[in-house]
Amino acid sequence: MWSAVTATLVLLGALVGFGWWASGEVAAGASPWTYAFAFVLGYAALVLALTLTVFALAWIWRSPRPHDARIGPAGTARLLWNEYAALLGASPRMILYRLLVPDDPATRSPAPVLLVHGVLCNAGVWTSMRRRLAAAGAGPLYAISYGPPLASIERFAGQLAAKIDAILARTGARDVALVTHSMGGLVVRAYLRRYGPAKVRQAIMIGAPHRGSVHARLFPGVSLSQLRPGNAWLAALNAEPLPPGLPTVSIWSWHDSMVAPQLSSRLEGARDVELSGIGHNALLTDPEVARLVVEELRRQASA
């Protein structure tokens, strides 16, 4: 809710401010379509600036890449475009998250799946992934929108516990599969540390900053401070091993644009799936990542 409200207020504030200024120009005879186009262009330019900024930071603080992870000029162009496209639609998806990412109806099922988003976001970021998972027959599918965004990850873990209990009550299942993006992976690990793995069937983590990310130094808030490399909370979390026997996989990209250094996504005790040429937010819209998630869900369902 908090992310949706914030995104709505920011967009409405920009629209009202721009509209107030443009109305005077239109009253003087200017074409309203010119200013409507300028507003859209301005939004696109801001998203482009954000995209280039996070990639620049990710490049400066990048992990050394093996030769087979290099993508060349054409791959770099695709990398930038796909991440830009993912960020361009992020605000509308977060505003409309209740419509775009609804929980499935209550139904008896042994294999519910819960999607856990990352920092400063809500369930809307799962729009593309949820559609692909549903088409593959995964689920029933559920998503959590925790918050407020700048609160502690430990608080989010408590909200995750309540959501898991609600899903198990609705489905009659013994446990739930968790699919996470970005900070959502740390929320799940904080949950496991506090509550244990009894209600978790498997954990599939996408682009999780297990060792933190330098990008978090640019933002205030408790949750962001817990994402900064070397902080005490993250060190304590990493001192705890994953629960033995819990199937855990970390899917990550050598070209992640918001987790830097990228090797931060490697997690001891988890199975690594390394990708190349995919940015942080594009991990959620990439068909290959969705295929890998479906494959992991099916593997555990048949185990």
- Answer for the pair 109, 77: CB distance below 8 angstroms, yes or no: no
d(CA 282, CA 303): 30
The Cβ of residue 82 has, within 10 Å, a number of other Cβ atoms equal to 18
The string of pLDDT tens digits covering residues 179-196 is: 999 999 999 999 999 999
Q: Where does residue 2 fall: left (phi above 0), alpha (psi -120 to 50 degrees), or beta otherwise?
A: alpha
Q: What is the mean pLDDT of residues 267-288?
A: 96
Closest among 201, 269, 206, 210 to 241, alpha carbons compared: 269
Q: Judge contact between 123 and 96, C-beta under 8 A.
A: no
3-class SS of residue 255: coil
230-274, pLDDT tens digit by residue? 999 999 999 999 999 999 999 999 999 999 999 999 999 999 999
Q: What is the pLDDT of residues 71-117, one digit of tens each?
A: 999 999 999 999 999 998 888 888 888 899 999 987 888 899 999 99
